[in-house]
A and B are shown apart, each in its own frame.
Chain A
């Protein structure tokens, strides 16, 4: 089930009403049931997959926690014994025993990760991997949300392994964490420590919270249906026959895709978080005015935040602090001096972005996209001393508003340029298309891109509205201010719903020529 359907609205309305009607202590159980029903619409096969992940992770985490407890006990006992015997444990011996115990726990964690990442890899990447060796294979049917729930579960497992979070001993409660339905479609990827605070709690009816959530959901639908789906029309035309649309058309693709992806992704997240909020549950934010970032590093702290932090905490840091990597660092800095110290940093960063690219999709263009992001980050890191010297020479430039705007525009264009690998899908083609911006290409004909001028105006107004909302939300989300004035909130919600129904892109378009009676 996707969000923008009457089915989802009906499903959520029913769930919402039941949720506040039943005794509060059963609310989380209702959520679990609802999530399973929601997932069941994706196919009962999918339920098997998510069930395996939930079960294996729950079991492994409990085992690791139990082991940790028993191992600590055993160590304490041995320590006491040895002390009594007059032969206390040395620091090295203690460290060795701790390391050995950790290794046992690690095997459980590793096993569970191999299983679940393995399932993800097979389901998602078999087709791609086989195509590399020349075997054509359409690939397995998609399992809804597998990238998201696998990562969310593995994050929990690793947190338990690290002792950051207590294992959830109740399987039903854990299952809810894995299958929580608003997150299954496009995230955000939650941490157990964060989500568990409100997921299982009892929630009473609260006008403000529910109102805020509802406004957010409606706003999300507006973004998706009015702006994103509308911009998707010219984008499809521009990218399906790339040879016909080169030069400035490619520039148009870059800008339109930025707007379309932003509206679609943040709209979906708004619906997700809004629904969760309406149920009294807090979910981490996934976007924070990303197009106002001044550099690439900042962009990735503002766009798809939960993915960025997940990869940082569970891939980047572990990779860079692994014994092997640290040994390599020592060897490189010994051999190559100052430059050598940077080698492992580069290696880790590029590996990180390679994996990020792969996570996005099973195709070369995603890998190239990921690596390009990594390269840009490393290059701007290297250019820092240069920038520092430049700004030293013009000290009044950096804090000025104009320079700030320049940085924002530069980052926006750079990120949007890289992002276009997403939309052309073929790597050499993408490079070629971008090249034509400079060398020149076909003319841009707005009237032939599937949107009437009235539609372009609506799209323009929509984008302007997104901008305005960004500014309104700086200090405090506008909807928070809105719910404090109920009448305005109701009026706003009603107006927005009407706008969505009238201007949304859905259903069969009206083409009066189809109605003209025609016998031949």
Chain B
């Protein structure tokens, strides 16, 4: 074989190999459709058809405690909730960095619980936060900050190297969702209609040291500065989840930080009565997260809180837009979202009732 032919053969072989690996990559990636839908959340952001006036970023206390539908129907506000299980602060930072490249909201809300985690915690949770991101410098930053000792950059760039051991578990779901996904969330909000009243919350043990670590303060500051740079209002919140325990000492530090930098901070746990949360009906896991009924109440209250403090336009009114076509488009999209939300709620309630 001549040199040229050899080169061609090598090239063809590499191409075939690359195609096979690309296909296997898509096949082996967990789809998170039937089990653990939390893993599917991060990538759904890219499906959004409109911008959002308010972005929420953080962990599960973000995407399970506020209903985007209520924000729309009560205040005409478009919201998105980008988070994953036990999302770490730097992961939130890089996601925020990515989102702010695409759009400029009025407000960014960050749930401060993740200030307590200053080191990489769990490889699986890392995956759920990072795998869904498109390849970008933000993703690379998140990978580098998140990797535990046993992880490698290569396995993030080629997830097949991480998930190849799933070969014995490849099932219908993997083939069905090879190149598409169902949308499991509503604007990033993960709905749950179950009811499990709060029974007992264990007493929180006192800690030796309540100070948040420098790493977390650093990323918090970076988020704040990023928002300043983009002309976005940065709001700190503590969502109304009863556990993990939110110590007063932690709360004080956040209050001081907010005062220092002129930021708004609200701890919704302090306003549980106003919000109207009933711990018997509004949580699905005994107080860790609100169910949809609680989330709607929380959204209603928080929406009011936000509109009081910030100049937020009601997007159901045509005057909020520069062009009538845009007004019509956005309203159409969000009306569809509303219908999808109602449909999902009805379906889930029917399933729950039949159990």
List the interface of chain A (C-beta within 8 A of B): 6, 205, 207, 452, 454-455, 486, 490, 493-494, 497-498, 501-512, 514-517, 519-520
Selecting from B9-17, B229-237, B263-271, B309-317, the interface stretch reads B9-17
Within 8 A of A (CB), among B44-65: 60
**Residue from A452, A494, A507 in contact with B20 in the complex, judged by beta carbons closer than 8 Å:** A494
Chain B residues contacting A205 (CB-CB under 8 Å) are 3, 6
Q: A508-B162, A509-B165, A519-B244 are in contact. Are A494 and B35 (CB under 8 A)?
A: no
B124 part of interface (Cβ distance < 8 Å): yes
Interface of B, secondary structure class, is helix
Selecting from B134-142, B148-156, B178-186, B273-281, the interface stretch reads B148-156
Chain A residues contacting B155 (CB-CB under 8 Å) are 507-508
**CA distance in complex: A454, B244 (Å):** 39
Q: A6-B154, A508-B151 are in contact. Are A517 and B85 (CB under 8 A)?
A: yes
A498–B166 touching, CB < 8 Å? no
A514–B164 touching, CB < 8 Å? no
Extra inter-chain contacts (4) besides given A501-B164, A520-B243, CB under 8 Å: A205-B3, A490-B13, A494-B13, A512-B35
A454–B150 touching, CB < 8 Å? no
Q: List 17 A-B contacts (CB under 8 A).
A: A452-B168, A490-B9, A490-B12, A490-B13, A494-B20, A501-B21, A501-B161, A502-B24, A502-B164, A507-B161, A508-B155, A510-B166, A514-B123, A516-B36, A517-B60, A517-B85, A519-B60
Chain B residues contacting A454 (CB-CB under 8 Å) are 167-168
B282 part of interface (Cβ distance < 8 Å): no
B128 part of interface (Cβ distance < 8 Å): yes
B13–A493 touching, CB < 8 Å? yes
B1–A515 touching, CB < 8 Å? no
A207–B6 touching, CB < 8 Å? yes
**CA distance in complex: A6, B244 (Å):** 40
Chain A residues contacting B166 (CB-CB under 8 Å) are 510
Chain A residues contacting B288 (CB-CB under 8 Å) are 519
B24–A508 touching, CB < 8 Å? no
Chain A residues contacting B164 (CB-CB under 8 Å) are 501-504, 507
Chain A residues contacting B3 (CB-CB under 8 Å) are 205
**CA distance in complex: A239, B152 (Å):** 30
**CA distance in complex: A519, B161 (Å):** 28
**CA distance in complex: A494, B35 (Å):** 33
**CA distance in complex: A490, B124 (Å):** 36
B20–A515 touching, CB < 8 Å? no
B115 part of interface (Cβ distance < 8 Å): no
B254 part of interface (Cβ distance < 8 Å): no
Chain B residues contacting A515 (CB-CB under 8 Å) are 30, 36, 39, 124, 127-128
**CA distance in complex: A6, B158 (Å):** 12
**CA distance in complex: A493, B288 (Å):** 52
B20–A510 touching, CB < 8 Å? no
> Distance in Å from the Cβ of B203 to the closest Cβ of chain A?
14
Chain A residues contacting B16 (CB-CB under 8 Å) are 494
A486–B1 touching, CB < 8 Å? yes
Chain A residues contacting B13 (CB-CB under 8 Å) are 490, 493-494
Chain B residues contacting A493 (CB-CB under 8 Å) are 13
A207–B1 touching, CB < 8 Å? yes
> Distance in Å from the Cβ of B227 to the closest Cβ of chain A?
28
B213 part of interface (Cβ distance < 8 Å): no
